Amino acid sequence: MATTLEFPGFLDVHVHFRDPGVPEAETTLSGLAAASKGGFAAVVTMPNTSPACDSPDALRRQIELSVGSVTRLFPSACITKGRLGREVADLESLAEAGAAFFTDDGSYVSDPKVMESAMARSAELGMCICQHAVDPLIQAGGVVRECSFAKRFGLKVIPAAAEYEAIRRDLSLCRETGCRLHIQHISTAEGVELVRSAQREGLPVSAEATPHHLLLSCDELTVDDANFKMAPPLGNAEDRAELRRAVKDGVLMFATDHAPHPAATKSHGFASGANGIIGLETAIPITYAVMVEQEGMRVEDWAKAWWDMPRGLLAPGLRNAALGLASTVVEVGVRRAVSVADFVSLSRNCPYDGMEFECWPREVR
C-alpha cells in the first residue's frame, strides 16, 4: 500500500543548468522543471556556465529567469574571476546581488594564497565557500579509481589522495580563517574521515554525497559506458560503505551534482566522455532505497539530509527565503522503473534506465 509523506521543501545545493553555455543540454527553465518533477523545492546552480557566473549581472539574470517557477533557484557565484583560480572575484558585490555561496565547481582553487584570501573575505560576509576538492596535480589526468575495469580498459587511474589532500589543505585554511567550508561531492573514505574529525573538532565544515557515489562503485563497472564517468569518479566498495555510514551518522548531506550533457559528448566511451550524469529526477528514489531501505536510516533523518542540512549553506540573507519554500511530497510503496525517455530534463545521460525503486516524488506544493 502506498503512503504519502510530506516534508519541508527539499533543497539540492549542487545542480548544473547550462544556461548560458549549452542550452541544448539544459536551460534554466528545463532544469527547474526537472527539479520540480524530482521533488525539489529549491536548487543552487553552479557557476561553471559559459561565461562563468562571476558578476552581479550574471547572478541577477539567473534569478530573473526563474521568476514564477514553483522550484526556487538560488544561484551560486565564482570564488575567482572566470573560475581561473588566479584572482578572487568581487565577493562583496556578489553577496549583495544574492549569491547563495561561492564555489569554482569543476575546478579546484589550487593556489593556497588565493583560497586563503577568499575564505577570509567570505568569513567577513558570513558566507560559505564550497570546494570541488580534486587536486589536478595529483589527479594527473586520471579518469577512474583503481579497479579491475581500469586495468581492463587501460584507463588512467586517479589516486584517492587527489581528493583527501585537497580536503586536508582546505581544513587548515578553515581553521585559520574561521570561514564556513563545504566539500562538494565527496567520494573517498579518507576524505570522509577528515570531515568527520574536523566536525568533532568543532570546525564549521560540511560535505555532500551524491546519489551515484552512494549507489554505485567502480568495483562493479564492466561496460565502457561514459554514463558511469563522473568527477570525482566513483569510489570503491569501501568508499561507498563509508559514505553511507557518514550519511547515516549525520556527517554528510545529499546533493545531486545534476550534470546534463548532449548525447554526443557521452557516446565515445570512458576515456574521452564528458564527466557527470543528470540526477534531479532520480535522486529521491535512489537515496531512499540506499539509505532507508538498505541502511536502515530513519525516514525523518533521510529527509533532513535533503532539507535541513542543505539550508545551512545558504547566505544569511537567503535563509528567510528558504523558510517560505514549498513542501516536498513523496509516495512510498509504489514500485516503478526509471524511464529516461519520460524525463523532463533536456538531457539523457543517466545510467539508471529500467532500475526499479519504491519511493517517488509526487509533487512540490
Indicate which residues carry an active-site annotation. 257
The residue number with the shortest CB distance to Zn ion is: 132
Q: How far is the CB of 132 from Zn ion (least distance, A)?
A: 4
Nearest to 33 by CA among 260, 255, 228: 260
What size, in residues, is the chain? 365
Closer residue to Zn ion, CB minimum distance, 105 or 163: 105
Closer residue to Zn ion, CB minimum distance, 47 or 351: 47
Applying CB under 5 A, what is the total number of residues that bind Zn ion?
A: 2
DSSP 292: I
Closer residue to Zn ion, CB minimum distance, 159 or 178: 159
| Whether 325 contacts 85, CB under 8 Å | no
Q: How far is the CB of 258 from Zn ion (least distance, A)?
A: 11
Closer residue to Zn ion, CB minimum distance, 105 or 239: 105
- Sequence-ordered list of residues with C-beta below 8 angstroms from that of 281, at least 6 positions apart, any chain: 34, 37, 38, 343, 344, 345
Q: Cα–Cα distance between 260 and 274 in angstroms, integer?
A: 10
Near Zn ion by CB under 5 A: residue from 16, 132, 169, 229: 132
Region 66-105 residues binding Zn ion, contact defined as CB under 5 A:
105
Burial of residue 151 (CB within 10 Å: 0-12, 13-18, 19+) is exposed
89-97, 126-134, 213-221, 324-332 -> range binding Zn ion (CB under 5 A): 126-134
26-34, 128-136, 314-322, 350-358 -> range binding Zn ion (CB under 5 A): 128-136
Residue 272: all three cell numbers together: 574521452
Q: Cα–Cα distance between 63 and 73 in angstroms, integer?
A: 7
Q: How far is the CB of 231 from Zn ion (least distance, A)?
A: 6
Q: How far is the CB of 335 from Zn ion (least distance, A)?
A: 33
Q: Cα–Cα distance between 316 and 187 in angstroms, integer?
A: 28
Residues that bind Zn ion (CB under 5 A): 105, 132
